[in-house]
Structure 1
Amino acid sequence: MTWLRGGLKLAAMTSLPPAGSLSRIRIGSAPDSWGVWFPDDPRQVPWRRFLDEVAGSGYEWIELGPYGYLPTDPAVLAEETGRRGLKVSAGTVFTGLHHGPEVWDATWAHVSDIAALTQAMGGSHLVVIPAFWRDDKTGRVLEPGTLTAGQWRNLTTGTERLGREVRERYGLEIVVHPHADTHIDSEENVTRFLDATDSSAVSLCLDTGHYAYCGGDSVKLIETYGERIGYLHLKQVDPAVLAEVRAEEIPFGPAVARGVMCEPPSGVPELEPVLAAAQRLGVDLFAIVEQDMYPCDPDKPLPIARRTRAYLRSCGA
Structure 2
Amino acid sequence: MDSVRAHDRSPSPPPPPARIRVGSAPDSWGVWFADDPDQLPWRRFLDEVSEAGYEWIELGPYGYLPTDPARLREETGSRGLKVSAGTVFTALHRGPAVREETWEQVSRVAALARDTGASHLVVIPAFWRDDKTAAALESPELTADQWRALTTGTERLAAEVRDAYGLSLVVHPHADTHIATEEHVERFLDATDPTLVSLCLDTGHYAYCGGDSVKLIKTYGERIGYLHLKQVDPVILADVVERGTPFGPAVRQGVMCEPPRGVPALEPVLTAAQGLGVDLFAIVEQDMYPCPPDKPLPIARRTRAFLRSCGA
Q: What TM-score, normalized by structure 2, do the two folds share?
A: 0.94
Among 59, 66, 70, the alignment partner of 1:71 is 66
Q: Secondary structure at the match of 2:240?
A: helix
Shift of 1:22: 6.9
Among 262, 267, 273, the alignment partner of 2:268 is 273
**Paired residue for 2:158?**
163
Amino acid at match of 2:239: E
Q: Deviations over 1:187-237 (max 9, x none)?
A: 000000000000011000000000000000000000000000000000000
Q: What TM-score, normalized by structure 1, do the two folds share?
A: 0.93
Among 215, 235, 251, the alignment partner of 2:246 is 251
Contact 2:18 / 2:278 at 8 angstroms: preserved in 1?
Answer: no
Amino acid at match of 2:284: V
Matches within 5 A, 1:83-232: 83-232=78-227
Distance 1:245 1:122 in 2: 39
Higher relative CO (Cα under 8 Å, sequence separation at least 6) belongs to 1
Distance 1:203 1:92 in 2: 14
Contact 2:91 / 2:125 at 8 angstroms: preserved in 1?
Answer: yes
* 1:312 counterpart = 2:301: no
Q: Tell me the C-alpha RMSD between the 2 structures.
A: 0.9
**Paired residue for 1:14?**
none
Q: Percent identity?
A: 78
**Paired residue for 1:282?**
277
Q: Structure 1 stretches of 5 or more lacking a match?
A: 1-20
Amino acid at match of 1:128: V
Contact 2:199 / 2:223 at 8 angstroms: preserved in 1?
Answer: yes
**Paired residue for 2:293?**
298
Distance 1:66 1:139 in 2: 22
**Paired residue for 1:3?**
none
Q: Secondary structure at the match of 2:273?
A: helix
Shift of 1:102: 1.4
* 1:35 counterpart = 2:30: yes
Q: Deviations over 1:45-101 (max 9, x none)?
A: 110000000000000000000000000000110110000000000000010000001
Distance 2:104 2:294 in 1: 36
Q: Structure 2 stretches of 5 or more lacking a match?
A: 1-15
Instruction: Tell me how many residue pairs correspond in the alignment.
Output: 297
Shift of 1:23: 4.7
Amino acid at match of 2:55: E
Contact 1:22 / 1:316 at 8 angstroms: preserved in 2?
Answer: no
Q: Secondary structure at the match of 1:100?
A: helix
Amino acid at match of 1:303: P
Distance 1:144 1:232 in 2: 28
**Paired residue for 1:82?**
77
Shift of 1:113: 0.4
**Paired residue for 2:12?**
none
* 1:26 counterpart = 2:18: no
Shift of 1:105: 0.8
Amino acid at match of 1:96: A
Contact 2:18 / 2:275 at 8 angstroms: preserved in 1?
Answer: no
Shift of 1:299: 0.5
Q: Secondary structure at the match of 1:94?
A: strand
Q: Deviations over 1:248-278 (max 9, x none)?
A: 1000000000000000000000000000000
Q: Secondary structure at the match of 2:227?
A: strand
